[in-house]
Amino acid sequence: MNRKPRLLIVEDEISILHGLTDLFVYHGFEVATEQDGNSGLEQALTGGFDCIILDVMLPGLDGFSICNAIRKASREQPVVMLTAKSSEEDIINGLTLGADDYIAKPFSVQELVLRIKTILRRSGWHEESDTLELGENIIIDVCNLSGTVYGKQQVFTRREVDILSLLYRRKRPVPRSELLTAVWGYSKSAEPDTRTVDIHIAKLRKKIELNAKQPKILVTFRGEGYKLML
């Protein structure tokens, strides 16, 4: 079964929140929700969401502040602002902070779903199958955490598979801080020990590289992060 796109909705109006949740679940999304700005930001920074919908007017932090914090943590996280404010100034403010789209209430639910799906396609999201293929010689079953590496059976941990899946999607060097946010769920301000990432990368190299000391697949780009060379 293919992975559903994960959506976070931060909205304090219960009727709208429930309506949007039902709408996107119906259209095949996995939906998480928050009703205030502080909880919304904490949830958003854990990573793992394919798109985030933010209401502007929220208790605690407003949507603009959340969007700004998200952009400082990730340049690629798709964010959509949802608000009753539709003035040119508000739209410019939201887009300047890095929102991918700005949708004013009231809105057409069909249009909203289409715009979210368009943003997902533009950001490079695609349905992930149960198999992760890293070239011709490495095939990993992401559900059973096992695979074939150069003809030999290999067992992986969930975190190892999550790391490989993230690097496979990004197609660029991924810094340790981004891995800690997206895979481990740390907020950017937590400042955890980045050796955690290095240890997992070292273990992965022993499993997927012909020579772990001279990696050709999971490569370090000094000052930038890790990248899968596929």
The answer, yes or no, to whether residue 1 has pLDDT greater than 60, is no
Look at residue 117 in the predicted model and tell me its pLDDT. Answer: 86
2 vs 226, higher pLDDT: 226
Using pLDDT thresholds of 50, 70 and 90, give the confidence band for residue 126: low
Look at residue 2 in the predicted model and tell me its pLDDT. Answer: 56
Look at residue 192 in the predicted model and tell me its pLDDT. Answer: 57
The answer, yes or no, to whether residue 123 has pLDDT greater than 90, is no
Using pLDDT thresholds of 50, 70 and 90, give the confidence band for residue 190: low
Nearest partner of 209 among 219, 201, 217, judged by Cα: 217
187 vs 203, higher pLDDT: 203
The answer, yes or no, to whether residue 131 has pLDDT greater than 50, is yes
d(CA 16, CA 12): 8
The separation between CA 142 and the C-alpha centre of its own chain, rounded to angstroms, equals: 17
Using pLDDT thresholds of 50, 70 and 90, give the confidence band for residue 85: low
The pTM assigned to this predicted structure is 0.59
Q: Is the peptide bond before 175 cis (omega within 30 degrees of 0)?
A: no
d(CA 71, CA 77): 7
Nearest partner of 225 among 170, 185, 187, judged by Cα: 170
Condensed to tens digits (0 to 9), the pLDDT of residues 30-53 reads 899 999 999 999 989 876 788 999
Kindly report the average pLDDT of the chain as a whole number.
85
